[in-house]
Amino acid sequence: MNTIKECFDTILRGDKEKSHLAARNVRKLVHSSSAAGREKYDEIAALVRTAQENYARISEDWRQENFVMAVSVIYFLHDRENQPDFLFPWLFQLLQHQNGHVRHAAVKMISHEIGPLTYHLRFPGEKSSFHKFTSEDADTILHSLFASLNGLLSAFWQPKYKRYKYINSLPPSPYKSAQMVLAELEDSCGKDIDRLVGH
């Protein structure tokens, strides 16, 4: 498995052990200097772009975990700076997964987009040269993100959660995963939070 594409082929088609090893190998390949080059990034962007449809065809829980973990490692190279929420419907589905590793990977991927989406709030008047969406688009996405997260929190709320003062002390659950994303979002939005929630 010398390329990321080969790793993904093994994750999707190999036996349990090979799939697991391939998923772990993705991180090494992403950060190795020998695998550099434009082709690698085009290939990675394509893998992320098709992640949702490829995931939909996976039936085994262990293969779902391997696939999502591997996608979360390459996600930041998705090449969709003009549409940062392009995978949010899938990521929200993953936030509700029974597997904690899958949920953690989803938290990581959604959180990756919070920085770019809140750039205009954290640096008013400055234009990001990297992100290709307007501050109005970002506000709309942020508002939708708040609404979706609050919907998940309502759906997964249990009275026992009242006992916990801190998010980190909550038992592993979709509720905790959604709270982690919401905390990151509120922190990054700062004083603009009220305006966005009522957008």
Per-residue pLDDT of the chain (199 residues; tens, 9 = 90+): 788 999 999 999 999 999 999 999 998 888 776 555 555 788 889 999 999 999 999 999 999 999 999 999 999 888 777 788 889 999 999 999 999 999 999 999 999 999 999 999 988 888 776 777 888 999 999 999 999 999 999 999 999 999 999 999 999 999 999 999 999 999 999 888 887 776 4
User: What would the DSSP string read from start to end of 99-133?
Assistant: -HHHHHHHHHHHHHHHHHHTHHHHSTT---SS--S
Predicted structure pTM score: 0.90
Q: In a 10 Å sphere around its CB, with 0-12 CB exposed, 13-18 middle and 19+ buried, how is residue 110 labelled?
A: buried
Q: What's the CA gap between 142 and 97, in Å, rounded?
A: 23
Q: How far is Cα 120 from Cα 122, in angstroms, rounded to an integer?
A: 6
Contacts of 109 (CB under 8 A, 6+ apart): 71, 72, 75, 87, 91
Backbone angles phi, psi at 165, to 5 degrees: -85, -35
**Domain parsing of the chain, residue ranges:** 4-197
> How many angstroms separate the CA atoms of 50 and 40, rounded?
16
**Token code pair at residue 12:** 């999707």
**8 Å CB contact between 96 and 172:** no
Structure token pair of residue 59: 């039936």
CATH no., domain 4-197? 1.25.10
Cβ–Cβ under 8 Å, residues 26 and 48: no
